[in-house]
Amino acid sequence: MIDVRRIRTDYDTVRDALARRGGALKELEQVRELDAQLRELTAERDQIRSEVNAISKEVGTLRRDGRSEEAEAKQVESRALGEREKQLADAADEIGARTRDLLLHIPNLPSVDAPDGAHADDNVEIKRVGPGDEPAAWAEHQRVPHWDIGTELGILDLERAVKMSGAMFTMFRGAGATLSRALCQLALDHNSDAFEEVRPPTVVLTETMISTGHLPKFADDAYCFERDNLWAIPTAEVPLTSLARDEILDSADLPMRLMAQTACFRREAGSAGRDTRGLLRVHEFDKVEILAYAMPDQAAELHADLLRRAESLITALGLTYRVLDLCTGDLGNSSARTFDIEVYAPGVDQWLEVSSVSWFSDYQARRANIRYRVAGEKGTDMVHTLNGSALAVPRVWAAVVETHRQPDGSVKIPEVLLPYFRGATEIRATK
RNA sequence: GGAGGGGUGGCAGAGCGGACGAAUGCGACGGUCUUGAAAACCGUUGAGGGGCAACUCUCCGGGGGUUCGAAUCCCCCCCCCUCCGCCA
């Protein structure tokens, strides 16, 4: 949520910032109008409440002194005020609810540093490591799509996954499952120097989904257990961000860094028919997420650190990648600035988004009511939240298998993963 | 799932219709004392909204109700504890 007070006091700046990402100007204007009404109503309501409170005190005194007739008269007076108060309160509640609902639908303001642009084509590539998608850089044996490699080596069983769960569900087998697990473990081990490992619930309440900005706007993208009013998380960002919900953190504990490996569930409602083959787009996948709560002046450095950490994993796996600075038009709803990491998968000849490293400023914190206090100082402020995928399994799995495929059809296991492979150094067909 | 007990400030814990934003204790902070510290003593100490301010409103798990007035009474829900049942 953006701050209503900013809408009140700095409307033009807010409007211009929002305009840069092409969003919700109508809602913004409505919020401004409703907020003005709301303040009038609550001021009047509070005035009446104040009178009622004063009268009630008098009634108490009069009754104690046995002057019940005078008390009676005061009660009648107060009763009349009470009716007016109720009208005002109802009106205020109604407008307050509408304001909040609008506010929940307004995206975050982009950072001044985020490049302008309308869609993905306008994202700015700021870095490229490895040969990229130069055709000459890749050998023939690396030009095999991962689903074929998976079948050849018996490490990917999509057919049976579909039998169990339907299209866009996956199953790794044998060394393929080991690879999946090894990737997660590598990511966790790699960040254990600074991040607390968490194993959160993967099914959460509606309120938890609202905090991160995944509801109410994007309900169609998530799986819902209607009978129990629970949602399957699309990313560990959801529970990890709610971990501190409604809490006031001590500045000494900031930045607070958390990481978690979880399954992630996505309905991919808008993308039927796209990337249907293989592991490029699936309904359930494992991911290691890294996340931080910070004070505003710590945020920039943390954002850079999260990106560095995500990059170094990709580098360690020997993959080619590029980093994009997302333009205002392509920014996620809650984000102020996002860097995407895309790895190049030679077998399918595609750049695959494997990590989004985002800074949410205080947008999520305001939704989730997460504040901090500086010891000895008065008052509290909203924290900033940041997060990124350290490693998302299926796409990285695909890129690893395609990149490291050998001329004889086997897949060489990257050195950093060897500790997790029980002595094996390559993946070969078992029969 | 069944029966009973409970949810109050950073923590512990009183209050069960008016003087309660809430006793008391602990903790924390400031001061006195001390070479320094401890102890003792004195004082301060929740969050949020509106208002230039004076000031005012809201919050005692959540929501609704009764009342001139609710932490206190009534209804619904949630959570925690104990016992029983079931169970990876």
Alpha-carbon span A287 to A93, nearest angstrom: 41
Would you say residue A173 lies in a domain? yes
Confidence band, pLDDT 50/70/90 cuts, at residue A399? very high
CB A141 within 8 A of CB A340: no
**Per-residue model confidence (pLDDT) at position A250:** 87
Would you say residue A45 lies in a domain? yes
Mean pLDDT of A235-252: 92
Name the region of A34 (left: φ>0; alpha: ψ -120 to 50; beta: rest). alpha
pLDDT single digits (tens) A184-210: 999 999 999 999 999 999 999 998 999
Least confident span in A61-75, A146-160, A270-284, A326-340: A270-284
Partners of residue A265 on adjacent β-strands: A284
Would you say residue A145 lies in a domain? yes
Q: At a CB cut-off of 8 Å and minimum separation 6, what does A294 contact? A: A254, A255, A256, A302, A383, A384, A385, A386
For A179, the domain range is 120-427
**Per-residue model confidence (pLDDT) at position A374:** 85
- What's the token pair of residue A98? 């509408």
- For the residues of A93-157, what is the DSSP string, one character each? HHHHHHHHHHHHHSPPPPPTTSPP-SSGGG-EEEEEESSTT-GGGS-GGG-S-HHHHHHHHT-B-
DSSP A279: T
A9 and A135 in a common domain: no
Would you say residue A114 lies in a domain? no
Is A49 within 7 A of strand B by CB distance?
yes
A164 and A98 in a common domain: no
Phi first, then psi: what are they for A251, rounded to 5°?
A: -55, -30
Is A276 within 7 A of strand B by CB distance?
no
Confidence band, pLDDT 50/70/90 cuts, at residue A64? confident
A144 and A28 in a common domain: no
**Per-residue model confidence (pLDDT) at position A272:** 66
Residue whose Cα is closest to the C1' of B68? A75
As a whole-number percent, the residues of chain A with pLDDT over 70 amount to 99
Alpha-carbon span A51 to A82, nearest angstrom: 10
Chain A residues 355 to 384 with C-beta below 7 Å from nucleic strand B:
371, 373, 376, 378-380
Domain final residue pick, A105, A137, A171:
A105
* Cα–Cα distances in angstroms (integers) from residue A110 to residues A242, A335, A356, in the given order: 22, 7, 15
pLDDT single digits (tens) A26-44: 999 999 999 999 999 999 9
Residue A266: active-site member: yes
Alpha-carbon span A7 to A383, nearest angstrom: 19
Bridge-based pairing of strands A256-265 and A196-198 is parallel
Phi first, then psi: what are they for A352, rounded to 5°?
A: -115, 125
Mean pLDDT of A156-168: 94
A311 and A162 in a common domain: yes
**Per-residue model confidence (pLDDT) at position A27:** 95
Structural domain count of chain A: 2
Would you say residue A112 lies in a domain? no
Alpha-carbon span A146 to A180, nearest angstrom: 14
pLDDT single digits (tens) A253-268: 899 999 999 999 999 8
* Cα–Cα distances in angstroms (integers) from residue A44 to residues A56, A74, A84, A97, A103, in the given order: 19, 21, 10, 18, 24
**Per-residue model confidence (pLDDT) at position A431:** 65
Q: Is the peptide bond before A200 cis (omega within 30 degrees of 0)?
A: no
A154 and A84 in a common domain: no
Q: Is the pLDDT of residue A284 over 90?
A: yes
pTM for the predicted model, two decimal places: 0.93
Least confident span in A125-134, A251-260, A371-380: A371-380
Report the distance from CA of residue A229 to the C1' of nucleotide B20 in Å, as an integer. Answer: 39
Mean per-residue pLDDT over chain A, rounded: 94
Q: Is the pLDDT of residue A56 over 70?
A: yes
Report the distance from CA of residue A228 to the C1' of nucleotide B6 in Å, as an integer. Answer: 26
Is A42 within 7 A of strand B by CB distance?
yes
Alpha-carbon span A391 to A309, nearest angstrom: 10
Phi first, then psi: what are they for A128, rounded to 5°?
A: -145, 130
Mean pLDDT of A150-169: 95
Report the distance from CA of residue A201 to the C1' of nucleotide B85 in Å, as an integer. Answer: 26
Please tell me whether residue A88 adopts helix, strand or coil conformation.
helix
Looking at A21, A266, A322, A366, which residue is catalytic? A266
Looking at A32, A353, A373, A428, which residue is catalytic? A353
pLDDT single digits (tens) A108-119: 999 999 999 999
Chain A residues 54 to 93 with C-beta below 7 Å from nucleic strand B:
54-57, 59-60, 63-64, 74-75, 78-79, 82
Task: Give the residue carrying structure tokens 């990590």.
Answer: A355
**Per-residue model confidence (pLDDT) at position A408:** 96
Q: Is the pLDDT of residue A66 over 90?
A: no
Alpha-carbon span A138 to A86, nearest angstrom: 73
Would you say residue A201 lies in a domain? yes
Report the distance from CA of residue A379 to the C1' of nucleotide B80 in Å, as an integer. Answer: 30
CATH of the domain at A423: 3.30.930.10
A328 and A211 in a common domain: yes
